[in-house]
Structure 1
Amino acid sequence: MAKTILFGGLTPLHELFLKGAVEAFGYKAKFLPTPDNRSLAVGREFCNRGMCNPTYYTVGNLIKFLLEEKERGVNPEDEYLFVTVGACGPCRFGMYETEYRHALKEAGFPNFKVAILNQSDLSSEGEFELTPKLIWHMVKAVWAADIIRDLGYQLRPYETAKGSVDSEIDSFSWELYEALKRRAGVKEMLRLFKGFRSRLERLEFDYTRVKPVVSVIGEFWAHTTEGDGNYRLHRWLEEEGAEVRPEPIAGWIDYQLFIEEEKLKRDLKVKGFSVERVKKLLAVRAMAKTFRGLYNLFRSAFDNRPKELPSQRELAELAKPYFDYFVVGGEGHLEVAKHIYNVKKRKTHMVVSVKPFGCMPSTQSDGAQAKVLSDLPDSIFISVETSGDGEVNVKSRIQMKLFEAKRAAEREYEEALRKLSLPLGAVHRTFSENPELRKPFIRLKGNYAGTAARALYGNAKLVLPYAAVEPEAV
């Protein structure tokens, strides 16, 4: 009997869609629960000392699941196979595979099988075969999860019926999972997106709510997980009155391809011309272009509302005075680049950089961020370290910065009102009485970070009739 593939470490949405993608190729698959603090404790018990939190959380999460299965009378070594991503150094990510195998042996599962996916060359080791068709299907699944997750974080803060957006996302997620399971192509996925958009159009939103936009960046796992590993940071910020901008996994893949292309270009320059190097360079470029094209196609189904993928070249140039993009490990130069990009492009009011305790690459980035902050004094930025405890202290620090971001968002909105010479009362009446302005995908325009200010600028003409009969001072 074929073993069931276990995997985890991403968001529940990504894992559900990946489950469907893998099952489409005949595998049985199961994603692990979101790692919690119990997973951290188990990881610390069985892993070597000196590991980072993502190692403890993810390894501990697997062992916790296997121990629970063993208590139910299941032999995990016969029933399951674990698939994880492998990598080289220089950070501890390069030691994940070793830690999984060591901890599994210590926990009493010496024969448990682990299959490794090599992110550098998109190949696999072990019983899980990573074919080109499977890679493409998995990419579609991950990109779809990025898009839907992004939409959720953009729409929830403005929904008039609390929980309505999550309800639609939950329902649609299972529809898309079933479609991926039957190997849905791009056309079918776009058709499903169209239906999902129609359902969202039936919901009502209030875009006069002035909320700070907060970008969450940092070490990949720490800024991606939605559990105890980062104190459930995204949803907590939302509850505190922010509109959260999570980082898409597509951006991470785009970064990996960019670095691979730059390395190949360097090799051609230093080592000389080689047909093999040129072929690989062209293949990497084609892959990057195809993947970005697919992401933009999925975005277009929702009026390009989900966040675009910034140019990796532009990010590298922004970071260049502070961080060499050939210094890899963790997110490399991206933590610095994303901070600068968000500030200079007015994409967000505040940037939170979250890293695990003892993360070497993020610590390097924090050193560079000191110089960035001196050059961008208006930036509202905070770097926080997670360790499984200290939640109250971390959230207290973030709240102080969030207060500054809220004031920045309010000032921005007031500036937009002044520039347009629109009275606030007329704006509220327009948005409350015009059904078109209570739909999710209204026109957003203007060089502002806040959704409320962009909605005002994008629909100012509709406010003018109300302003004519209600000309109070702004």
Structure 2
Amino acid sequence: MKYKENLLIPALLDAHFPLMKYAFYSREYQPVILNNRRNVTGVGLRYVHNDMCYPCILNTGQMIAALQSGKFDLEHTRLLMPSVGDACRGSNYTEMLRKAVKKAGFPQVRVMTLNLRHIDEGNQIGVSPEMVWRAFFALFYGDLLLILTQQVRPYEREAGAANRCRDKWYGILGSELKAFRNLKISVMLRRFSEITADFAAIPRTGEKKRRIGIVGELYTKYCALGNWDMVQFLEDSGCESFTNGLSWYVLYYIDSHLAHAGNPAEAAGYRAIGAVLEKLQKKMIAAIAAAGFFTLPTLHTLKAEVAGKVRFEAAIGDGWLIATESAGYILHGCKKVLAIQPFGCMPNHVIGRGLYASLQRKCGGQIVSIDADSSLSPVNAYNRARMLMNADEGI
């Protein structure tokens, strides 16, 4: 009898993984998104040097703690560490994790990778058309639920209404993704309208709170574990937060990394995929705007708007997307931007923080950066966020 392998995936994309996990669902794998938090930093620091990137410490701590928990059959468990495959330290996570897992006493547990740069192909998880199609739908559905939840929850008259609406749709969409049912573009477009209408129908107070745009490195931007629950802190402090969707990052990655690949046919294929994604992103944005909610324009439009304020040569890690989203927020009326990055992350410190003063001169607004690291305290991060919240409201 062939056993299904448990595929353990560390927390990364809180809004997307409840749906994205079904991309890995198959006869071979049972995906498990890890949500364990207790002492994961301490466990990670036992096996990863503290000079390594904070997300690497947390990912390693989560995975090893899960293996130590006794909840999984180790003979039928694998770990998945996705990687963008560029000069970012994140490209070393897979090998670092392998060493840590062996050192922790689990040499039988295989560490798989997922990247589009043909790196470590011997341990690359198999990519099927069904997997890609499910991920494609999960990308836009996750974006929509992320954007709407963050804009409704701070104003809901009944506590928990936005989260219940979000979870209802996670259930509906998740069952469709798992069963590979209703995965048609026409259904997706209909869902855009249905979901936005459902959130728009939630009774809200009508007050106007300070909106804080969030930018930064992928993990610290989208994962509550990586940013010390910053979204919750902002909402508890009387603010509305806005985190841009993952589809903007995917289009940035295609634009900056894949559309100019060495293989001309491969590059042309990625450009065609990018064109399709941007058309669907435009449809999603239209549905959001029609329901009266805020969002940034498509990546192509956003680049045109910030040209002259942001340069597009730097494409390591999150690269020019950080400054582009920061400038975009300010130009579209979100005058306060919170940039969260791992301490020592060179793309964020050079390409991001290095431009914040220039962007404030050119665009106005205010940008405050926060470093996340195992040696730092969440209290310091909250104090810097409060400094941004309490800044001159006339900006």
TM-score, normalised relative to structure 2:
0.88
Q: Does 1:97 align with 2:94?
A: yes
Counterpart of 1:231?
A: 228
Q: Does 1:9 align with 2:8?
A: no
Counterpart of 2:155?
A: 158
CA distance in 1: counterparts of 2:295 and 2:166, whole angstroms: 18
- Residues 219 and 13 (structure 1), Cα distance of their counterparts in 2 relative to 1, 3 Å cut: closer
Counterpart of 2:213?
A: 215
Query: Given the alignment, which residue of 346, 354, 366 partners 2:353?
Result: 366
Q: Does 1:342 align with 2:329?
A: yes
Aligned positions of 1:415-434 closer than 5 A: none
Greater CA drift, 184-193 or 230-239: 184-193
Pairs aligned (count) = 387
Report if the CA contact (8 A) 1:332-1:361 is conserved: yes
CA distance in 2: counterparts of 1:248 and 1:195, whole angstroms: 19
Counterpart of 2:283?
A: 297
Counterpart of 1:43?
A: 44
What is the CA deviation profile of residues 213-234 of structure 1, one whole-angstrom value per residue up to 9, with x for unaligned ones? 111001111111122x211001
Counterpart of 2:373?
A: 387
Cα offset for 1:351? 0.3
CA distance in 2: counterparts of 1:54 and 1:318, whole angstroms: 29
CA distance in 2: counterparts of 1:380 and 1:127, whole angstroms: 42
CA distance in 1: counterparts of 2:394 and 2:161, whole angstroms: 28
- Residues 123 and 282 (structure 1), Cα distance of their counterparts in 2 relative to 1, 3 Å cut: farther
- Residues 141 and 26 (structure 1), Cα distance of their counterparts in 2 relative to 1, 3 Å cut: farther
- Residues 110 and 347 (structure 1), Cα distance of their counterparts in 2 relative to 1, 3 Å cut: farther
1:204 is matched by which residue type in structure 2?
A: P
Aligned positions of 1:245-260 closer than 5 A: 245-260=242-257
Counterpart of 1:55?
A: 56
Query: Given the alignment, which residue of 237, 240, 253 partners 1:240?
Result: 237
Cα offset for 1:81? 1.4
Counterpart of 1:109?
A: 106
Cα offset for 1:281? 3.5
What is the CA deviation profile of residues 157-188 of structure 1, one whole-angstrom value per residue up to 9, with x for unaligned ones? 22222221111212221121111111131344
| Structure 1 SS opposite 2:334 | coil
Give unpaired runs (5+ residues) of structure 2: none
Rg comparison, structure with higher value: 1
How large is the RMSD of aligned CA atoms in angstroms? 2.7
Cα offset for 1:293? 2.2
| Structure 1 SS opposite 2:12 | coil
Report if the CA contact (8 A) 2:257-2:315 is conserved: no
What is the CA deviation profile of residues 364-399 of structure 1, one whole-angstrom value per residue up to 9, with x for unaligned ones? 1212323333444x3211011112432222211221
In terms of fraction of residues, the more helix-rich structure is 1
CA distance in 1: counterparts of 2:286 and 2:81, whole angstroms: 32
- Residues 256 and 200 (structure 1), Cα distance of their counterparts in 2 relative to 1, 3 Å cut: closer
| Structure 1 SS opposite 2:158 | coil
CA distance in 1: counterparts of 2:133 and 2:294, whole angstroms: 21
Give unpaired runs (5+ residues) of structure 1: 268-275, 410-474
Aligned positions of 1:291-330 closer than 5 A: 291-302=277-288, 303=290, 305=293, 307-312=295-300, 314-315=302-303, 318=306, 323=311, 325-330=312-317
CA distance in 1: counterparts of 2:20 and 2:258, whole angstroms: 26
Query: Given the alignment, which residue of 18, 28, 31 partners 2:30?
Result: 28
- Residues 200 and 360 (structure 1), Cα distance of their counterparts in 2 relative to 1, 3 Å cut: closer
CA distance in 2: counterparts of 1:44 and 1:54, whole angstroms: 11
CA distance in 2: counterparts of 1:14 and 1:332, whole angstroms: 22
Cα offset for 1:133? 3.2
Counterpart of 1:463?
A: none
1:8 is matched by which residue type in structure 2?
A: P
| Structure 2 SS opposite 1:230 | coil
2:52 is matched by which residue type in structure 1?
A: M
- Percent identity, please: 21
Report if the CA contact (8 A) 1:25-1:134 is conserved: no
